[in-house]
Chain A
Amino acid sequence: MRYGRRGPRPPFPYDMEEDMAKTGAMNSKKKDVNKIAYLFVLPFVIVFLVFSVYPVLRTFYLSFTNYKGYGDAVWAGLDNYIRVFKDKFFWKDLWNTVKIWGVNIILQLGLAFLLTVIFSDIKYKIRGLAVFRAVYYLPNLIAATSVAFLFKTLLDWKYGSFNQLLLMLGITQEQVNWLGSTSTAPYVISVIGAWMWFGNSFIILMAGVQGIPKDYFEAAAIDGAGRWTVFAKITMPLLRPIMLYVFVTSLIGGLQLFDLPFLMNGVAPGTAGEPAGTLQTVVMYLYKFGFETHQVGYASAIAYTLFFIILIVSVIQFKTLGKEED
């Protein structure tokens, strides 16, 4: 319908439904509009079904078979899961992963928290938050391959800049073999991970702080509350849901760690997980069965065991952190 100069102007705001009801066309038109909306979401739904739902369901099915990547998938019941539970290398690699993630999350959240406190402090009034946010987030945007290469070069035993710097400053007397020693290699990965992802945690925590009504802080200031009291009594409790979110997402990502340790030490054949298997994570173990020894059924069972472990730990986190909030 075109409203010309001569025609009557519709009431403003224009109520299409009323207009349609008047003409009796509402029901059929509304249905058409709904159908078109479905068409718009269809591409996503198709991609989601094909690339997320189907693999997840099929992996679950395959975890009960002895599928090798070819031929028939013969039903094996719970055999693969029983094997996972008895497999000492699975548990060893899970422990490796937890160690790397544990140190990583402490550093990552600690740093993000410290920055959040500094940037949200009313007294400091730091300007250029957007710039800092972008700079801190940048490592997240660099491909893991580049990060691995960068740190491999920096941490090179003999010629790496990091060791040269330590020697120059007299902090160490000889080069430290960061990636070759079992006592340092896992924690190097933790630190690199923290460097990559603290910006992400910082942005989320900062958004959480900004979501806290200013009234609370003003009221606290009027009541004479100190900086620490404000942090402990207002910021921390109100940030708890956000912290829970950061913690759980970090756990999900952390226990699936693959790219960094694989690229740092495992690219050459037979070197995966070196030194002495300390960098072998659960997903690297899964990779070995899925892609190297072609035991897809067992790899699927490892994937689902990891999924259930993450699920259980997440639920525990929700129960403990969530409860305190109440």
Chain B
Amino acid sequence: MLAGAMVLGMTACGGTDNAGQGSTSGGDGAAAESGTEAGDTKAADTQAAGGDKLVIWTLAKDLEQFADHYKEQNPNVTVETVVIEPANYVTKVQTALNGGQKEPDIIVGEPQMLEDFYDAGYFEDLNQAPYNAQDYADQIVDYVWDVGQDAEGIQRAISYQITPAGIYYRRDIAKEVFGTDDPEEVGKLFADYPTILETANTLKGAGYRIFASDAEINYFSGDSAWVIDGVLNVDQGRKDYQDLCVALYQDDLTAYANQWSTPWYQAMAGEVPILSADIQNYADDSVDVWNAESFAEATAGMDKTEVFAFGLPSWGVLTMRDNVQGTSGKWGVCAGPAYGFGGGTFIGISSQSERKELAWDFLKFCTLNEETANWWIEASQGDTVSLIPVLEAHADDANEIYGGQKLYKFWLEQAQGIDYSKVTRYDKFIGDEWGRATTAIKTGEKNKEDAWNEFYDQVESTYPEITVNR
């Protein structure tokens, strides 16, 4: 029975319920860490309490760098970092921890995974001694601190970074078309969805395109929760967002590039060919948008344009850094139509680890240590850390790629506006289905009514506990 065998992977190891109440095991010589101020934690003080090996399972490669840095300061500790494909990460963690494995010691999660991980009891309670994480609450940006808490407010994970979203725009184009490149003023061009559409049309009239893809506003579309008190909530903002996507697509207001494809990256550096809707949705595959080598040749005869803006979280700074080439210095960042954030790696201790003291030391090293945060800003060349004292210390840092703009100050302001209570465990699925409905409407595959009904049906059948009012 294939069907039975498929469920085997999920069930054979099941039944172990470690509700996160595990007391911290630790060696006799473990140093009590309670009450230590964030900045005072020195990695050199590490006591390899439960053994001198630490196993980390992560889906973000960042942690490899953190682990190397940790090893430099703790040469007697062996750190094994296993980077797992995001698509397989949750299943792998579930299988290991449901099977009662003592390793990994450190597990991570992205916001949409965390609620399930908390419920499963995978993460150690960090509010108890010797961790006393609550003592560090004021050191970390609020929304990040909240994401790391379970439904009962117990701290389970902490992130070293914040990921608020912003609109990255070309200052030179802004000046030419709108007469200003000031982030405050340009932000007004993105104040709400109808205004964005207006801005898009103005730019098209001037020979530019507002975005490379029509998905750039996605990070700002979550201004309300998808599910409120068990009821599906599709508010006007979601519908306006959908209308905007459809208009951007149908009125030729973008360059028809897909996010993360060759032309999308290329648009950061300047001119890109204006593709067609068919190329974007793969109905026409004469241009392989994922193949940088053949792309230039395949699009040689097409009209070209320059793209005005990208909507990305703060880690987009790194994406831009690697791709802006000749447009370096011509960029600015402003606020989008709503507060939003995307991703973020949250680090926690496995409740089944036998080396919790060491794991806690590593966790603090990555998230609550000023020296590490400063090192990470350098090492990552501009990632935005979550440690408030360090963010404040860098508030006046001018970023030359962005015309000297003070980005850390900007991201901190954006992060302070994020309301994490709007995030639910259903977001990924519902968001994907809403995106699918949007695609069906914009490509003409379905009319609005059919696409919405399909969306409602999908939500209803996948999560019967959600009430759907059509």
Which A positions have Cβ atoms within 8 angstroms of B?
Answer: 51, 54-56, 58-59, 62, 67-73, 83, 87-90, 156-159, 177, 180, 253, 256, 258, 269-270, 276, 283, 286-294, 296, 299-300, 302-303, 306-307
Contacts and interface: CB of A to CB of B under 8 A. Distances in A.
A71 B121 contact: yes
A289 B463 CA distance: 10
A270 B436 contact: yes
B464 to A, nearest CB: 6
B124 to A, nearest CB: 15
B2 A156 contact: no
22 contacts: A51-B5, A55-B5, A55-B7, A55-B11, A55-B12, A59-B11, A62-B7, A62-B11, A62-B14, A69-B98, A70-B122, A90-B461, A256-B2, A276-B445, A286-B7, A291-B91, A296-B10, A296-B11, A296-B14, A299-B10, A303-B1, A303-B6
Given A58-B12, A307-B1, A293 B7 contact: no
Interface stretch (B66-74, B197-205, B282-290, B388-396): B282-290
A88 B461 contact: yes
B462 interface: yes
Contacts of B2: 253, 256, 258, 283
Given A69-B10, A69-B14, A296-B11, A286 B5 contact: no
Contacts of A288: 462
Contacts of B3: 256, 283, 286, 302-303, 306-307
A180 B122 CA distance: 41
Given A87-B461, A256-B2, A70 B98 contact: yes
Contacts of B11: 55, 58-59, 62, 67, 296, 300
B178 interface: no
Given A158-B285, A307-B1, A59 B116 contact: no
Interface residues of B, number: 42
Contacts of A177: 283
A97 to B, nearest CB: 12
Contact of A73 (B7, B14, B94, B435): B14
A288 B462 CA distance: 9
A71 B8 contact: no
A180 B282 contact: yes
B224 interface: no
Contacts of A72: 17
B405 to A, nearest CB: 34
A67 B122 CA distance: 16
Given A283-B3, A294-B116, A89 B94 contact: no
B293 to A, nearest CB: 15
A68 B12 contact: no
A293 B426 CA distance: 9
Contacts of B120: 68-71
B457 interface: yes
B87 interface: yes
A304 to B, nearest CB: 8
A65 to B, nearest CB: 10
Contact of A89 (B17, B284, B429, B461): B461
A51 B285 CA distance: 44
Interface string B399-432: 0000000000000000000000000000001001
A293 B12 contact: no
A162 to B, nearest CB: 15
A294 B284 CA distance: 36
B286 A158 contact: yes
